Structure 1
Amino acid sequence: MKITGIQTVVVNALYRNWIFVKVLTDQPGLYGWGEATLEWKTRAVVSTVEDLAPIVVGQDPMRIEHVMARMNRMSFWPLGIIGMTAASGIEQALWDIKGKALGVPVWELLGGQVRDKVRVYTHLKRGAGGPASTDDIGAFCDAAQETVEMGYDAIKLGFVPYTGYDAPLQSVLHVEKLAEAVRERLGWTVEIMTDFHGRPQSIDAAKAYIDAIAPIKPLFVEEPIPPGDVRAMADLARRVQVPLATGERLLTPREYADLAESRAVTYIQPDLAHCGGFSGGRRIAAIAEAANMGVAPHNPMGPVAGAVALQFDAATPNFVIQEEIVGVVPWFEEVCSLYPLQLTDGSWQIPRHPGLGIEIDEAVAEKHPFEQEIILSLHATLADGTVANW
């Protein structure tokens, strides 16, 4: 069997263009889907898929590790976030092809099912309302309650404002009041996570906000400081009483090995659209398991990325919980004629169709062509005009 071509299908959704990658083979009707969505870098990723095609076309799609080695090593330059995202989308599509060719779900190829369902969490109103203001505590709590009533028992919220090297007292007190109000509204049967987005620029600023949130006992605080400084993250972890998580902006097993060696976080959050697909994700999960760290994969993207995450989670022993935003646009499920992401009691069910268990309806996709996304980070400034981390 040979790969004969690679195509991309770009679908404009809320705040993102989903980038679906379609790998074609010389076997009639046999092809695979992957997703290479990267916020605000759509044109670059699509062009990089085209750049990688000459390295991939003509290869056997069943030799997934071999094809990944070609994309990484024959590119000479480190792929970086844009290159790794393009390669991840291609890699996922190869697993879809292999599962279809062998007549089994991808999770069967990853070692088999290790759980009966996959617990998930979502964002405020599944992200469909855009970034929520924390100024109106009552309205924020209403939105959180509405989200839980959609069928979730876990939710991730953004409590922390744009922040620099200090944490202004009034801001800290407001975050404390907001967190307490949300916990009181949702009760103790709902897991709450909070994403700092790496906004605090110092350990002390991050600690001030974490200490304010600690009484509501979040499952984890995500990216409390910008990613990349493992020593600082490990130092922070030892100074607070809340589990920390990071990983959405990390790409390689080496980066995760540094986290594991220092026990810097409780949970790692690889995104299979950026870290090398299933191949990279499996290596990263194994590194985390050796360090007694759980895996809570990142995924605020489209239906193919969701299907990929579900297959991975079904077969990963140290999986904990999966991020998702199914329904972020009203036609989310229409773009798929097969759709495995069914929510029951706060969890996804294990899929049984071969491959990823998904099929893209390209006619529906064509109704939502590429558009320039709204770049939310353009608003990330402090009161004095300093550019902040989004």
Structure 2
Amino acid sequence: MKITAIRTLVVNARMRNWILVKVETDQPGLYGWGEATLEWKTRSVVGAIEDLAVLLIGRNPLQVERCWQIMHRQYFWRGGITNMSAISGIDQALWDIKGKDAGKPVCELLGGPVRDSLRLYDHLGGGNLEGMYTTGSPENFAELARQSVAKGFTAFKAMPIPVCEMIESPAVLKKAAKCVQAMREAVGDEIDIMVDLHARTSPAAAIQFGRLLGDYNLYWYEEPCWPEDVDALKEVKDALPMPIATGERLTGRWEFMELFEKRAVHIIQPDVSHCGGISEVRRIAAMAEAYLMPVACHNPQGPVSTASSIHVGFATPNYLIQEVVRNDVPWRNDILGAPLAIEGGSVLPPTAPGLGIDINEKEAAKYPFQPEVTMAFERKDGSVADW
């Protein structure tokens, strides 16, 4: 069996362009899908996939690890978020082919399910009822929280820190804390709440804000500062009682090493569409297990990334919970041959061969590439802000 082509299908989904990767073979009807979505770098990733395709045409797609090593090592320049996202999409597609060829779901090829169901969590964004780009009021957060629970979710994540405010302001932090309070009061103590800071805060502000949230029993406190500064993350971790999570912006096991060695966080969040695909996230998870750290893959992308993450979750002993997105576009499931079997707050083990999904390319073509929404956020004083 040989790889005959590697193509990309870009699907515009409002905030993101989903970069879907199709690996085709010389066996009639046998192909695989992966996802390499990287918002605001879409054309760069598509170009990187074209560069990698040159290395794999004519190779055996069933030799997944050999193909991974070729993609990672055969060019002098390695790594980087763009290149690793390209590798991630192709790697997922190769696992999809391998599963289809064997007639088994990918999670079976990874050792079989280690759990009977996988818990899911919802994403409320910034609590704005009209979209995800601005931060809503406590009342908005409470309403979205109630809607999520009504859909069957027992956990959700929100981003209550406003982008445009000067974060090192106690007044701003207190207002954001009121949003968390409103969510907790809306859903009670039985529902788990995660707070995502998007690395907008300095370590000092993250600690100050975290102390304001002590009564709300957070499931985790995500990206309190930039993951490049591991010592800063550890400073926040050591100062607060709630679990600290990070990892979505890191690629490859090498970028996670210092987090593990310094025990700078409690929970890691590699992204299967950025960190190196199914092959690499499994290695990262195994490293985390040695440090007693759970894994919860980051996943605000499209349906192929979701499917890949679910297979990893079922086959990984130290997997905690899976992020899913349901409100980005109303036609999310329309581009699939069959929708993912996600009902409310959990999902059962996949049983279809490969990743268990297919893309309706004719339907997907209705949403061609468009430049992503520019996130040109500024603070009130005109300085550039992290979104």
TM-score band, normalised by the shorter chain?
over 0.9
Give runs of aligned pairs for residues 164-243 of structure 1, distance below 5 A.
167-200=168-201, 202-243=202-243
Alpha-carbon distance in 1 for matches of 2:166, 2:160? 17
- Residue number in structure 2 paired with 1:364: 363
Displacement of 1:134 after TM fit?
4.1
Amino acid at match of 2:281: G
In the TM superposition, what are the counterparts of 1:140-159 in structure 2 within 5 Å? 140-159=141-160
Match of 2:317 in 1: 317
8 Å contact kept, 1:13–1:368:
yes
Return the alpha-carbon distance in structure 2 between the equivalents of residues 46 and 101 of structure 1: 26
CA positional deviation for 1:341? 3.5
Q: Which residue of 2 aligns with 1:4?
A: 4
Compute the displacement of 1:135 (Å).
4.9
1:240 partner letter: L
Give, in angstroms, the shift of residue 117 of structure 1: 0.8
The residue identity in structure 2 corresponding to 1:354 is P
Distance 1:135 1:255 in 2: 34
CA distance in structure 1 between the aligned counterparts of 2:136 and 2:298, rounded to whole angstroms? 27
User: Residues 3-152 of structure 1 correspond to what in structure 2 (within 5 A)?
Assistant: 3-124=3-124, 129-131=130-132, 133-152=134-153
Cα distance between partner residues in 2 of 1:127 and 1:339: 27
Contact 1:128–1:328 at 8 Å: present in 2 too? no
**CA–CA distance in structure 1, aligned partners of residues 102 and 218 of structure 2:** 42
Question: What SS class does the counterpart of residue 172 from structure 1 fall into?
Answer: helix
Query: What's the offset of the Cα at 1:185?
Result: 0.8
Q: Kindly, what percent of the aligned residue pairs are identical? A: 46
Q: Residues 135 and 35 from structure 1, CA distance in 2 versus in 1: closer, same or farther, beyond 3 angstroms?
A: closer
TM-score, normalised on structure 1? 0.95
Distance 1:66 1:95 in 2: 12
- Once residues 347 and 237 of structure 1 are traced to their aligned partners in structure 2, the CA distance between those partners, rounded to angstroms, is 29
Q: CA deviation at 1:60?
A: 0.6
The CA distance in 1 between the partners of 2:284 and 2:339, in whole Å, is: 27
> 1:274-293, aligned counterparts within 5 Å?
274-293=274-293
For 1:191 and 1:52, how far apart are their aligned partners in 2? 41
Deviations 1:53-76 (A, max 9, x none): 110111111111111111111121
Change in Cα spacing, 1:302 to 1:100, as seen in structure 2 (3 Å) is same
Q: 1:244: Cα distance to partner?
A: 0.3
Alignment pair present for 1:258 and 2:255 = no
Q: AA paired with 2:67?
A: V
The CA deviation at 1:329 is 1.1
Distance 2:136 2:332 in 1: 30
1:129 deviates by 4.4
Which consecutive unaligned segments of at least 5 residues does structure 1 have? none
Pairwise CA distance, 1:198: 0.3
The number of aligned residues is 386
Instruction: Return the letter of the residue paired with 2:152.
Output: G
Unaligned runs of 5+ in 2: none
Structure 2 distance, partners of 1:40, 1:338, is 29
Distance in 2, matches of 1:59 and 1:341, equals 33
Tell me, in whole angstroms, the C-alpha distance in 2 between the residues paired with 1:29 and 1:139: 48
Confirm or deny that 1:271 pairs with 2:268: no
